[in-house]
Amino acid sequence: MTARDPDCVLVSAPVPGCFHGRVPILEQVQLATQTYRLRLGAPELARAIRPGQFVMLRLPQTTDPLLGRPLALYDTVLDAAGLPVGVDIVYLVVGRLTGRLPPLRAGDQLEVWGPLGNGFPDLSGTAHVGLVAGGIGQTPFLAYVRELLGDRSYGGRPARRQVQRVSLFYGVRSADRAAGVEDFRATGATVHLASDDGSLGFRGFVTQLLEQRDMPDHLVGCGPEPMLQALAELARRRGVPCHLSLETPMACGLGICFSCVVPVRTAEGWDYRRACVDGPVFRADDLLFEVPPAR
Amino acid sequence: MAQLSVTLGRLTLRNPIVVASGTFGYAREMAAFIDFARLGAIIPKTVTRLPRAGNRPPRTVETPSGMLNAIGLDNDGIDHFIAQHLPYLRRLPTAIIANIAGKTVDEFVELAERLGAEPGLAGLELNLSCPNVSGGIDFATDPRTTSEVVRRVRAVCPLPLIAKLTPNVTDVTVIAQAAADAGADAVSLVNTFIGMAVDWRRRRPILGHVTGGLSGPAIKPLALRLVWQVARQVAVPVIGIGGITTIDDVMEFLVAGARAVQLGTVNFFDPTAAQRISGELPAALATLGATSVEQIVGTLRLNGD
């Protein structure tokens, strides 16, 4: 594993923008079944974070659960003067930590560190971008749509329209799981919905829906691994460049534990890369998905 | 102003707060969170002779107040370490202690010889105890192999030596004694306890490697007992490791006999902990009326004394 200098992530000490501390919950809203939006009062994070990056979040004053959980930026929150004052995170209740979040209220505190990870690519000059989400994989795309359409500034970079058109393809198990659809519609992106049971939009996989529409010039995916694998295969077949944002079991989010590795192609064959510092966004063509036989 | 420095054989550290190998990357990952000058030493991730991809994921899983890991010594080998990591590490304002693991005694000797010739290292920690590597020998489960590695490394490498020991043995004092007799400046203990996690619905182990090493607050009482036992029975400086998360944990290990401590898993879930705990040390010493760390090391009073 080559430990690349994560210069885009952890700048240097103690630079404003790399934050670790306790922050207050400003509000919590249920968006869908088992799905909540959590607003954190964290101005340092809000000023620095870019679409596709994530934060680690944990419960304070306990060692059980022990580790933080990686959660993508949903969007930054601006005050009346347009200054970033908070970050929104959207989470699905899946386990021991997320299961303890829903009862938390405004004023309760969480520990958080970030921003972490490389973030989504600059797609300047691309006419039509397709964002493909499955399950809870839509959450990193709201800020990205706004960045691509020049609607919002992130990480201190001036807002600038990068692309002509953004389409979101969003697949869920059933209608009650769809979270944030109105937020996406409000951005000006074209929203295409799919569900496994047909209770919302197209009945079937989101990748099947994508194949029925105008193929975008660049695809970016986030969701369950089988969906990402299908998307990578589709992109390869159609000759469309594609990036994927991965979620892997992560202990630190910082690049120090070497837990969250994924196998990628390298000049020498393959090697593991840490999803937290070399990702979470990878070029689809670089990903192997299956671990090759031991070398 | 309290005297924070500690001496372990030929190794003197500015303070007893050390960050453990495998829990601090190659330090640069932590530059945004930690003022390295506040640490007694940094021990970067274990380096091996050849690059190792490491174990298949999942490599970690959380357990009650702890975690299991089976990373498998994922690293790019000694050439890469010397070319890419050491130039950065040796510029940092704290002691750097390299950590090495060999599959054979000869590999340990070769690694130690090469690092002993490099400027900018304060010491060498011998990883005799990684539980997650198949094909290698777990040197620290046997006093003879422990002794042989330490003795032969000592003969070729001028750096102060720390033997890192496994708790997965019947009597760790025997191993510690062997390391001390062979010339180790200090022993560090404990490495992780071998454990396992099972997904019964899928009838599968959770870790890709099946078993892994348990660390975190869950192991602190186990580690404390072993550190205390070695410190009172073996005439060698002890570096205490195992679930240390707060300044209170640090003080417990020092009083029990550790002359320094390593912070490990806490770095994963509290990235500024090492610096904060280091800053809390003078006040904790003052609570005991001590003016130096050395004054409190091994001062545990047994019931009835």
The predicted model gives B86-108 an average pLDDT of 96
- Look-up of token digits 């490791």: B241
Asked whether residue B153 is domain-assigned, the answer is: yes
pLDDT mean across residues, chain A: 93
Chain B residues inside the 8 Å CB shell of A3? 25-26, 29, 76, 84-85
Residue A295: pLDDT band (50, 70, 90) is: low
Q: Is B30 part of the contact surface with chain A (CB cutoff 8 Å)?
A: yes
Is position B264 within any domain?
yes
pLDDT category of residue A278 using cuts at 50, 70 and 90: very high
The pLDDT value recorded for residue A294 is 63
Chain A CB within 8 Å of residue B213 CB: no
Chain B residues 122-161 with a CB less than 8 Å from chain A: none
User: What integer pLDDT is reported at residue A251 of this predicted model?
Assistant: 96
Q: CATH number for the domain including A14? A: 2.40.30.10
- Domain hosting residue B151, numbered range: 6-54+73-194+215-287
The shortest C-alpha distance from B234 to chain A (Å) reads: 32
pLDDT at position A4: 37
User: Does residue A240 belong to any structural domain of this protein?
Assistant: yes
CA distance B248 to chain A (A): 15
CB-CB neighbors (< 8 A) of A261 in chain B: 54, 57, 59, 74
Q: What mean pLDDT do residues A137-163 have?
A: 96
User: Is residue B175 a part of any domain in this protein?
Assistant: yes
Q: Residue A160, Cα to own-chain centre: how many angstroms?
A: 21
Closest CA to B259 of B36, B40, B21: B40
Q: How many other C-beta atoms are found inside a 10 Å radius of the C-beta of residue A125?
A: 10
Interface contacts (A, B; CB < 8 Å): 131
Residues of B with a catalytic annotation lie at 130
Residue A6 above 70 pLDDT?
A: no
| High-pLDDT (> 90) share of chain B, % | 94
B206 in a structural domain = no
- Tens of pLDDT, residues B12-48: 999 999 999 999 999 999 999 999 999 999 999 999 9
Which of A3, A67, A256 lies nearest to residue B30, judging by beta carbons?
A256
Kindly tell me if the per-residue pLDDT of A106 is higher than 50. Answer: yes
Q: How many angstroms separate the CA of residue A78 from the nearest CA in chain B?
A: 25
A12 pLDDT above the threshold of 50: no
Look at residue B132 in the predicted model and tell me its pLDDT.
61
A19 touches chain B (CB under 8 A): no
Mean pLDDT of B93-114: 96
From the list B24, B60, B65, the residue facing A259 with the nearest CB is: B60
Average pLDDT over residues B61-66: 98
- Give B 236-295 residues with CB within 8 A of chain A: 245, 265, 267-272
Answer yes or no: is pLDDT of A10 > 50.
no
What is the tally of structural domains in chain A? 2
Last residue of a domain, one of A116, A142, A158: A116
What pLDDT does residue A14 have? 41
Average pLDDT over residues A13-25: 76
What's the token pair of residue B165?
């020991």
User: For the domain that residue A237 is a member of, what is the CATH number?
Assistant: 3.40.50.80
Residues A151 and A39 in one domain: no
Which of A116, A148, A177 is at the close of a domain?
A116
pLDDT grade for A141, boundaries at 50, 70 and 90: very high
pLDDT at B137: 58
A287 vs B: CB within 8 A = no
One-letter-per-residue 3-state SS of chain B: CCECCEEECCEEECCCEEECCCCCCCCHHHCCCCCHHHCCEECCCCECCCCECCCCCCCEEEECCEEEECCCCCECHHHHHHHHHHHHHCCCCCEEEEEECCCCHHHHHHHHHHHHCCCCCCEEEEECCCCCCCCCCCHHHCHHHHHHHHHHHHHHCCCCEEEECCCCCCCHHHHHHHHHHCCCCEEEECCCEEEECEECCCCEECCCCCEEEEECHHHHHHHHHHHHHHHHHCCCCEEEECCCCCHHHHHHHHHHCCCEEEECCHHHHCCCHHHHHHHHHHHHHHHCCCCECCCCCCCCCCCCC
Q: How confident is the model at residue B294 (pLDDT cuts 50, 70, 90)?
A: very high
Put simply, the answer to whether A251 touches B216 (Cβ < 8 Å) is: no
Q: Is the pLDDT of residue B275 over 70?
A: yes
Residue B150: CATH number of its domain:
3.20.20.70
Model confidence at A61, pLDDT cuts 50, 70, 90, reads: very high
| Number of separate domains in chain B | 1
Contacts of residue A212, defined as CB under 8 A and 6 or more positions apart, other chains included, come to A202
Per-residue pLDDT, averaged over A214-236, amounts to 97
Of B30, B54, B58, the CB nearest to A258: B54
Within a domain: B65: no
- Region A220-234: mean pLDDT is 97
A175 with A225, same domain? yes
For residue B59, is it within any domain?
no
Residue B164 has pLDDT above 50, yes or no: yes
Q: What is the mean pLDDT of chain B?
A: 96
In the stretch 126-145 of chain A, residues with CB closer than 8 A to chain B read: none
Q: Is residue B236 part of a domain?
A: yes
Instruction: Please report residues of A whose CB lies closer than 8 A to that of B23.
Output: 256-257
CB A132 within 8 A of CB A184: no
Do both A87 and A140 map to the same domain?
A: no
pLDDT value at position A2? 40
A104 and A15 housed in the same domain: yes
Cβ neighbourhood burial of B24 (10 Å; 0-12, 13-18, 19+): buried
> How far does B269 lie from chain A, in Å, by closest CA?
5
Asked whether residue B305 is assigned to any structural domain, the reply reads no
With a cut of 60, say whether residue A210 has pLDDT above it. Answer: yes
Per-residue pLDDT reduced to its tens digit, B237-263: 999 999 999 999 999 999 999 999 999
Return the pLDDT at B304.
80
> Domain check: are A99 and A199 in the same one?
no
Q: State the smallest CA–CA distance between residue B141 and chain A in angstroms.
A: 25
Please state, for a pLDDT cut of 90, what percent of chain A lies above it: 90
- Examine residue A282 and state whether it is found in any structural domain, yes or no: no
Residues A176 and A77 reside in one and the same domain: no
The residue from A68, A96, A116 where one domain ends is: A116
> Which residue among A3, A63, A261 places its CB closest to the CB of B57?
A261
- Given a cut of 80, is residue B53 above it in pLDDT? yes
Residue ranges making up the domain that contains A133: 126-247
